[in-house]
Amino acid sequence: MTEYDYWKIFPRMPRKVTIGDITVRDGFQNEEKFISTLAKIFYIEELIFAGCRDIEVTNLGNPFIMPQFSDAKEILTHIRSDLFKKRCAKKGVNYDDITFTAVTIREAAVDRAIELKRKGIGPDRLLMMVSTDEEHHFANSGTTLPAYWKEAQRCIKKCKDAGMVMCGTVSTIWGSPIGGATKLKDAVEFTKRWLEIGAHDIEHADHDGSASAPDVYRYFSMILDEIPETRLHLAHFHETKRVGSASILAALQAGITRYEATLGGTGGQLANFLDDRPVKGIGEYYYEDPRFLGLMTLEDTLVQIDEMGIEHGYDVDRILWIGKKLEKTIGRKLRSEAVVNGRTLKEGRPQSARPGLKKLKEKSGEKPGQILPSDWANEANLPEKYTISP
């Protein structure tokens, strides 16, 4: 007989997951208009009050390249303020449960984070990134891979000495927008290298939506066979082919417990234009069509996981409300379907029913709830030809 219990078919699949939000960092970095500091603070606060406990709040890289994050110090100052801590307490949020992350791709950004930490406003967690495709890595970081590994090793030691932890990202696992196909085994090796030099955890990233569900399942199964501690692994999926939800399902089936997403599926490559002027970014866009940009939407991911019965810690309805607000902030329709259609309603939509069914059943002599003719057996007697396997 076929096994119908999903968790027996996929014994590594979790009953509880952690979903981080990276809207204010990754989500906003692709926007070609400046998102105000007050708006960023609003979304950080609302996401936390709705259940988020792992949140990326800014990028500490050069603001000349990324002017969207020229307000990094102001953001960090606010989230470390007594006022915000009091607001958390009033909402029943344990402030100490929140992990604030800032992206620090290069050593100068790590040094800036350390200086902010000394001033009492630094992040808890930093993030550096390598790509298994060296051309993609060079486009993002401006260094060779060997030179960057040495830089990352120095930065991890500095980070630890300052009382912070470092997340090591592995990108282009399933393919690169520059170099094309990549090898899964290279990403497994890069994961080990990050842990060898002291990274706290690993973000496994599909930064251009190259992943397919079978390869996601294969890769994360390879990872957990080699490094079974699930706390170490974080799945990061972009959406270019509208199959990202299949990648999330495959990662769940493999046993991954940590995910991240953005409201509305915002995000992608650094903007090279802001407000009324061109900016440096990291050069020309890989994709000109905006349909090929962005991460998995937090709203849709939450609805998917929630309806699977997996614990996640969010107020889903509140997140859908926040997602609607973000569309006004950004000024366009975003990619979340759940924001439009909501969750699957267990109670249905009685207001959409055609009137007259009750009276028709009474007129026909049928009982309320009767769905079969009264002279039929309770169970179907299936013809034998349909029960024999070909």
Give the pLDDT confidence of 161-186 residue by residue, as tens digits: 999 999 999 999 999 989 999 999 99
| Burial zone of 343 (CB within 10 Å; 0-12 exposed, 13-18 middle, 19+ buried) | middle
Contact 59, 26 (CB under 8 A): no
Q: Are residues 186 and 149 part of one domain?
A: yes
What values do phi and psi take at 224, rounded to 5?
Answer: -75, -25
Q: Are residues 233 and 156 part of one domain?
A: yes
* Section 325-341 average pLDDT: 94
Identify the pLDDT of residue 215. 97
How many domains does the structure of the chain reveal? 2
* Section 61-78 average pLDDT: 96
pLDDT at 223 exceeding the cut of 80: yes
CA angle 47, 166, 54 (to 5 degrees): 15
Q: Are residues 273 and 210 part of one domain?
A: yes
pLDDT at 274 exceeding the cut of 90: yes
Between 72-79 and 82-90, two packed helices, what is the crossing angle to 10 degrees?
50
**CATH code, 27:** 3.20.20.70
351 inside domain: no
CA 53 vs CA 20, 56, 259, 296: distances in Å: 7, 10, 12, 18
Identify the pLDDT of residue 78. 98
Structure confidence at residue 157 as a pLDDT band (50, 70, 90): very high
The residue segments making up the domain with residue 369 are 357-386
Q: Are residues 293 and 268 part of one domain?
A: yes
Q: Tell me which of 94-103, 116-125, 208-217, 311-320 is least confident.
A: 208-217
The DSSP call for residue 176 is: B
Q: Are residues 157 and 27 part of one domain?
A: yes
Tell me the residue length of the chain: 390
Identify the pLDDT of residue 140. 87
pLDDT at 346 exceeding the cut of 90: no
Q: Are residues 139 and 93 part of one domain?
A: yes
Return the structure tokens found at 126: 């930093």
Q: Name which residue leads in pLDDT, 21 or 384.
A: 21
